[in-house]
A and B are shown apart, each in its own frame.
Chain A
Amino acid sequence: MTDLTRLTASELAAKIHKREITSVEATQAHLDRIAEVDGAVNAFLHVDTEGALAAARKVDGDLAEGREPVSPIAGVPLALKDVLTTKGVPTTCGSKTLENWLPPYDATVTRRLREAGVVILGKTNMDEFAMGSSTENSAYGPTRNPWDRERIPGGSGGGSSASLAAFEAPLAIGTDTGGSIRQPAAVTGTVGVKPTYGGVSRYGLVAFSSSLDQAGPCARSVLDAALLHEVIAGHDPMDSTSIDAPVPPVVTAARAGLKGDLTGVKVGVVAEFSGEGYQPGVQRSFEAAVAQLKDLGAEVVEVSCPNFTYALPAYYLIAPSECSSNLARFDAMRYGLRVADDGTHSAEEVMSLTREAGFGAEVKRRIMLGTYALSSGYYDAYYGSAQKVRTLITRDFTAAFEKVDVLVSPTTPTTAFKIGERVDDPLAMYLADLCTIPANLAGNAAMSVPSGLSDEDGLPVGLQIMAPALADDRLYRVGAAYEVARGPLLDRIPELKGVSA
């Protein structure tokens, strides 16, 4: 292993832009690291060696000819979640349905990364169509948590979080529908941000639940996440829900936060996110985090958001309902898998047999649950009521943000659980998203930042910070200040010794 894989994105960018090292060297170091350890981690579904090196050479060529770097992270390698389309590069969404599919176009996030000179190393593993909290629902095998390979790396973006913790990439992209960026970040000791809904374009993000899905940055430091955030965010006419407003000044906010002073910031502790169901070590870590924020000068008060406890049930009606509609597109006709097309089956039979063969259990469960919640006779009791809860949760946030600048809670009720432990118990699995879902339902911005190790099992804990819509910069100021005060965490990860692909 070379030192280059241990650097942050901003450190790597500085060296590349000063031409102390080349982007090709940085990229090759990460490709070598992937070759060395990914057999044991399974963070990547596809490694695009040729594409990555070509992108790196382009950055090096431009710099050699004296041109300014096209972005502050030009030349830095990145791992892209396999739910964002990449032209001519496999995009499977962790599903057999899209095995071997080569998209004919780039997602807007992909395009912005390319235009910013970011080097896309490959595509990361995920729960099938982003449905899950452990990455065990991938059709291509689970990703393992680099802290303890018997445990889950979170989900659905477990490949992205694990790639960061395993030093296979300094930056990654995730997508967060109910916590799929923040929960994986929490259990791997990395940083993950769900921007305000509409802040990052969904064009080319394979849809799961369109009113909730949001792509965002994943990194090993708050500043790196901010640098990536500014590259991928911004208005996009190709997404009708994209916000036509300036990107919040997240990099400036992160740099301000790094000074370690939160004087004048009002922090609200969500009263409902504690007590029964919360692992004692997570609870103690959270209490220490709150004390730390006070030490940094923040004023801390307790805030009640009484409807947050209804967020989980509302989510598991809204998301499956939207999923049942969105995944109707996988009909075996225009792209993706087709089975039983032998002349004896009708189009409808081919469709049903293909969907049966192509989808895993969790996807089928959610499609059926959504079909049920949307059917006449049940619509008002289930989907209609869930939409009302969504209003109540938004009202709770609005009331809270009249009193405080940001809200904080543990990101997840527990540290990483063991692979296999919850896979046959959907309700237990859903609890992993308990604290992250409210921000998806209301559409506001939220971050998970490393918060030390749980004292009982030595596994990472995340601190969740939530800010109002379009105030993403507040996450970065508070997150960066907390990160500085808390000190580095990934230095303490066990080395992936004795593994090779």
Chain B
Amino acid sequence: MSNISRDEVAHLAKLARLAVTEKELDVFAGQLDQILDAVAKVGEVAADDIPPTSHAVPLTNVFRADEIRPSLSQEQALSGAPAAEEGRFRVPRILGEEQ
């Protein structure tokens, strides 16, 4: 039995904001199914009493004084923007026609 259907892959692509093609869906569905088969092996040893590790180094919160420091200028911040107007990022319309 497969782990993941073509429809599920299409849904994942939508969630991940990837406008994948029909042909890509065919390829990815098969490959993701194979990969999931292989990685599911982690379930063999992941017993209930083992704590999860999210990070190799124990993390503690890092504080610093709330002081103004040099940062990017408006011009620098916009320098890589695909579109900018009047010192701001210009973005395509957020709402669809019917909304």
Contacts and interface: CB of A to CB of B under 8 A. Distances in A.
Nearest to A212: B56
Contacts of A139: none
Contact of A443 (B51, B52, B57): B57
Contact of B56 (A352, A386, A442): A442
Contacts of A381: 40, 43
B42 A313 contact: yes
B17 A331 contact: yes
A355 B20 CA distance: 9
Interface string A340-357: 010101111111110110
B80 A347 contact: no
Given A313-B38, A371-B12, A382-B40, A348 B80 contact: no
Interface stretch (A9-17, A61-69, A97-105, A473-481): A97-105
A386 B43 CA distance: 8
Interface of A: 101-105, 197-198, 211-212, 237, 240-241, 243, 307, 310, 313-314, 316-317, 324, 328, 331-338, 341, 343, 345-353, 355-356, 359, 361, 364-365, 367-369, 371-372, 375, 381-382, 384-392, 394, 426-427, 441-444, 469
A345 B96 CA distance: 8
Contact of B52 (A104, A105, A243, A390): A390
B59 interface: yes
B72 interface: yes
A105 B39 CA distance: 38
Nearest to A211: B55
A469 B58 CA distance: 12
A426 B77 contact: no
A328 B80 CA distance: 17
Contacts of B79: 102, 104
B52 A387 contact: yes
B65 to A, nearest CB: 11
A59 B40 CA distance: 54
B85 interface: no
Given A335-B82, A337-B82, A364-B24, A310 B45 contact: yes
A198 B40 CA distance: 29
Contacts of A369: 32, 35-36
Interface in B1-39: 4, 8-9, 12-21, 24, 27-28, 31-32, 34-36, 38-39
Contacts of A334: 80-81, 89
Given A310-B41, A313-B41, A381-B43, A469 B56 contact: yes
B72 to A, nearest CB: 5
B82 A316 contact: no
A334 B89 CA distance: 6
B46 interface: yes
Contacts of B53: 387-388, 390-391, 394, 441
